[in-house]
Amino acid sequence: MTYTAEAFQNEYLALGATEVNAIVTVTSSGSATGVRTGGATEVIIVDASGSMQAEGRIAAARQAAKAAVACIDDGVHFALIAGVGTAQQLYPAPGELAVATAQTRAEATWAIDRLHASGGTAMGAWLLLAAQLFAQRPGDIAHAIMLTDGDNGERQGYLESVLDSIAGRFTVDSRGVGTNWKVSELRKIADAMLGTVDIVASPADLTAAFEQMMTAAMGKTTADVQLKVWTPVNATVRFVKQVEPQVADLTGKRVADGARAGRYPLGAWGAESRDYHVCIDVPPGASGDEMLAARVSIVEGDTVHAQSLVRAVWTDDAALSTRINRQVAHYTGQAELAEAIQAGIEARKAGDDHTATMKFGRAAKLAHESGNKATSELLATVVDIEDAATGTVRLRRKVAAADEMALDTRSTKTVRVGRGQ
């Protein structure tokens, strides 16, 4: 794997300023041979609760699971879990993992035909069983797909306790089919497990969604990449956030690495590029003072793949210190866009039309300014955008639940500077 790390910032600070911001673009070429540097394990979790009988969801889920199995590369370990009021392993035998071959993929397909809808929803139990299966293959690229159509039925706090115990061990891409599930529950899982959440409004679209997730997972070639941030004495990390392809706050996932450094998990990587916003607090300096505010490294274990420096230079030249770095400004706006959308949705649900209108208006303006056309189109299903440039919107009286949930789940998806403009 070949990595590069490039920092974008305005290093010039006004006298008395103590906040340093940089966007670090990390790019990987993938492995030189295009094959994984180690093993990989996949677990497919399909909600088989009674509500999956509605609208042909269970039949569509069977077809989607079969399509996902067909995408698993030879040699990858895998398992299938039927999610009901407990976690039931559908294939292979309980507690075991299969190795993908033409034969085992065929056997898994036959096992999927036994998937029938009855019982409850217990996401914590499903994820706990997946964790036990992944534990058999330490060091593998570990990825799960989880499908549900309803609220979690476990006692309050249980899912959170499970997530606390398994966070970082594997990645989970969650999908909700229909509109009777909670975005907040699946987002909680995505945040803890470095994964994604999205709605599949129509059961007919499940197969394409599963194929896309599994194909993306098969493109990962290395398991555990981390962003290491070192700061000098008297400097501290305020936050580290992924800002592209989607917003994800990594600050709370920091693991100390010596007295002055911390590591932030980035999950599995293939040939791809992602952007991170690093914010450092430094002591104020006098005019002409310079300091290294942070050293940002891309690491795997003890191997340093790439490194970039974040600097601070104090100046009394306002023309220098007020110059806004384009990348920092863009992603600050993208993060605010996601927050505005989620706040607007909550206000609308609470019946606070005034706040909802203000938040959605701000979101429309930010989406327009940043060229985030996909988000603009999603906003237009919830509000009438009268003037995107000024953020003038009007709430729609009737909004389809699927449209509002799509806006919510996709609110954290961003565009890179210069894209979609």
Assigned fold of 327-409? Four Helix Bundle (Hemerythrin (Met), subunit A) (1.20.120)
* Whole-number pLDDT of residue 240: 98
Which of the residues in the chain have pLDDT under 50? 419-421
Residue 3 and residue 27: Cα distance in Å, rounded? 6
Fill in the DSSP letter of residue 395. E
CATH of domain 3-31+223-321: 2.60.40.3670
Residue 20 and residue 262: Cα distance in Å, rounded? 17
Q: Amino acid identity, residue 102?
A: A
Assigned fold of 40-218? Rossmann fold (3.40.50)
* Neighbour tally for 208: CB within 10 Å: 12
* Neighbour tally for 5: CB within 10 Å: 18
- Site of tokens 């990449």: 225
* Whole-number pLDDT of residue 419: 42
Whether residue 240 contacts residue 251, with contact meaning beta carbons closer than 8 Å, is answered with yes
Report the alpha-carbon angle 93-94-100, nearest 5. 50
Segment (H or E) for 197: strand 196-200
* Whole-number pLDDT of residue 35: 74
Q: Amino acid identity, residue 108?
A: A
Question: Would you list the domain boundaries of the chain?
Answer: 3-31+223-321, 40-218, 327-409
* Whole-number pLDDT of residue 113: 97
By CB atoms closer than 10 A (0-12, 13-18, 19+), residue 31 is middle
Fill in the DSSP letter of residue 155. P
Segment (H or E) for 358: helix 353-370
